[in-house]
């Protein structure tokens, strides 16, 4: 049995090594490019469409909460559940804002004409972070009592105007009847 050995010259070996390094560099560059594009896309989406959707969900929960608070009768358990959902969505908006601001690091906008760094606009943020259940509930009670006071004051004014108008009508009719007899 004969064995054939292949001997490579130094030049051939260097050429193969250079080709291998070029392939590895191209693979590494493709990976880096894909990561960069994906990172930019993720944070841009987080700052815009995801942020807007998050903000909209929070605002819808706030509107639902306000409707429950303004209803003629209040189911406190339902109100509390709606408050927790609203606060959770507000917290999610705050977390998304924090996450999305990374776009300013990976894709800075540069400086404005005054030399101040510009920032990407993030489409949401936590607005009610410090709002507690008791503070909000106190506000609901205050608003309901304000509305009750306003409604009752209007009823009293209507009652007074009706009485005054009726008294005037009766006095006019009485005076007209007395004048007709003369």
Q: Where are the domains of the chain?
A: 10-131, 140-182
| Cross-strand pairs, 133 | none
- Kindly report whether the global pTM for this prediction surpasses the value 0.85: no
How many angstroms separate the CA atoms of 51 and 71, rounded? Answer: 30
Please answer whether residues 131 and 87 qualify as being in contact, where contact means their C-beta atoms are separated by less than 8 angstroms: yes
3-state secondary structure at position 65: helix
Distance of alpha carbon 93 from alpha carbon 22, whole angstroms: 45
Q: pLDDT per position in the chain (182 positions), as tens?
A: 555 556 778 888 889 999 999 999 999 999 999 999 999 999 999 999 999 999 999 999 999 999 999 999 999 999 999 999 999 999 999 999 999 999 999 988 889 899 898 998 998 999 999 999 999 999 999 999 999 999 999 999 999 999 999 999 999 998 888 888 77
Q: Extract the tokens encoding 125.
A: 């943020």
Tell which residue, 94, 89, 96, 80, has the closest CA to residue 132.
Answer: 80
Tokens 């009823």 belong to: 155
Residue 117 pairs in a beta bridge with: 111
């Amino acid at each position: 049995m004969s064995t054939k050995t292949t001997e490579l010259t130094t030049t051939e070996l260097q050429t193969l090594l250079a080709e291998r390094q070029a392939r590895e560099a191209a693979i590494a560059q493709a990976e880096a490019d894909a990561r960069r594009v994906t990172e930019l896309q993720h944070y841009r989406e987080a700052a815009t469409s995801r942020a807007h959707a998050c903000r909209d969900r929070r605002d819808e929960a706030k509107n639902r909460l306000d409707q429950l608070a303004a209803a003629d009768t209040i189911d406190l358990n339902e109100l509390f559940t709606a408050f927790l959902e609203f606060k959770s969505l507000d917290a999610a908006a705050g977390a998304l804002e924090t996450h999305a601001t990374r776009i300013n690091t990976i894709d800075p906008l540069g400086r404005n004409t005054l030399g101040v760094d510009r920032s990407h606009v993030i489409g949401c943020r936590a607005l009610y972070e410090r709002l507690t259940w008791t503070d909000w509930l106190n506000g609901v009670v205050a608003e309901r009592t304000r509305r009750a006071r306003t409604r009752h004051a209007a009823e009293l004014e209507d009652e007074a105007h009706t009485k005054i108008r009726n008294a005037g009508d009766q006095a006019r009719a009485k005076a007209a009847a007395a004048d007709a007899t003369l």
